[in-house]
Amino acid sequence: MVRVVSLPGDPGLGPELARHLGAAHSTFFSKRFPDGEVYLRLVERVSGDRVLLVQSMYPSQNDRVVESLLALELLERYGNEVALIAPYLAYSRQDKEFLPGESVSLRSLLKALSSMGLSALVTVDAHNPAAVGEFLGSGRYLNVVPVEVFAEALRSYLARGVTVVAPDQGASERARALAEELGCNYVVVRKSRDKVTGEVTHSLEPLEGLRGVAVVFDDIVSTGGTVASIASFLTARGVEVALAVSHALFVGNALEKLTKSGVREVYSIPTVPVRVPGVRYLELAPHLAKLLREEGIV
Ligand code: R5P
């Protein structure tokens, strides 16, 4: 039978998914040993099932990764077929060796996860889905970018004229898909990063002449710096700015930075357990359940 099993990083998707799929739902008991090591125990016996293991890997990425590895080994040992649903996949942005000698954390993580015998990996709006697929090797991989969910919430802006903005070249496919769903245009900002200092520069010329509402669509907002610099440029030119972001990490004073830069509304989906005040969270579980069925993962 199909069973959804939640790990401690589940942002609340597990029970919702189980409800939409008509599946059983189980959890893990988890604690830390006095020295900080992770202890996990299944609350009920789970064996011989098709398991959807739900774990978001933010915050406390390192603990979340270790929990995932322990749970995968355990569930496999108990004769289950396990698909890992990682709505937020940690360590995704270091997807290549930018400087010689750097670790490629995405590759290391996926090698470790896939060595546990996954039947499939499902991510939500992974930073670089092509790299995830490549590093996963022969394993089944599905990346869900819920543009329909965002488009539904953003449709009310259309009367004022909407342009979707990709904050960098890597975000252009996501922006194109949202623009197509909304039936509007999109533009791509050019971003370059100094490989040594990490300093980021944006070429904002493609934004000149925008009118109406600009919807910046990004995978992750961490410090808010990327979106704030784009929003300041646009609001200074009288363009209203809304933000659609899959993973609202909002580290430190990110929300304040975005508000000061003129971002009026923030739309996100519950891929991490953090809930940022003022952010409008859209429903992900029904969309995910539908896709899992269509793709034959359940
Ligand atoms: C970068 O390539 C990502 O897609 C995001 O744009 C970036 O991680 C956002 O980071 P921050 O909010 O710190 O500018």
Record the pTM: 0.96
The pLDDT, as a whole number, for residue 32 is 97
The pLDDT, as a whole number, for residue 94 is 97
Per-residue DSSP letter, 22? T
Distance CA 221, CA 227 (A): 8
* Per-residue CA distances from 47 to 11, 40, 120, 180 (Å): 24, 16, 18, 43
Ligand 1 centroid – CA 227 distance (Å): 8
**CB within 8 Å of 191: residues ≥ 6 apart:** 167, 168, 169, 200, 201, 202, 203, 226
The pLDDT, as a whole number, for residue 104 is 98
Query: In 3D, which of 290, 296, 260, 264 has the Cα closest to residue 279?
Result: 264
The pLDDT, as a whole number, for residue 195 is 79
- Residue nearest atom 10 in ligand 1 by C-alpha distance: 222
* Alpha-carbon dihedral sign for residues 40, 23, 144, 154: negative
Ligand 1 centroid – CA 119 distance (Å): 30
Distance CA 175, CA 282 (A): 18
The pLDDT, as a whole number, for residue 194 is 84
The pLDDT, as a whole number, for residue 197 is 85
pLDDT tens readout for residues 210-253: 999 999 999 999 999 999 999 999 999 999 999 999 999 999 99
From 200, 221, 229, 232, the mutation candidate for ligand 1 (largest count of ligand atoms within 8 A of CB) is 221
Q: Which residues pair with 31 in a beta bridge?
A: 39
Ligand 1 centroid – CA 268 distance (Å): 15
The pLDDT, as a whole number, for residue 201 is 85
Helix (H, G, I), strand (E, B) or coil at 141: strand
Which residues in the chain come in under a pLDDT of 50? none
The pLDDT, as a whole number, for residue 91 is 98
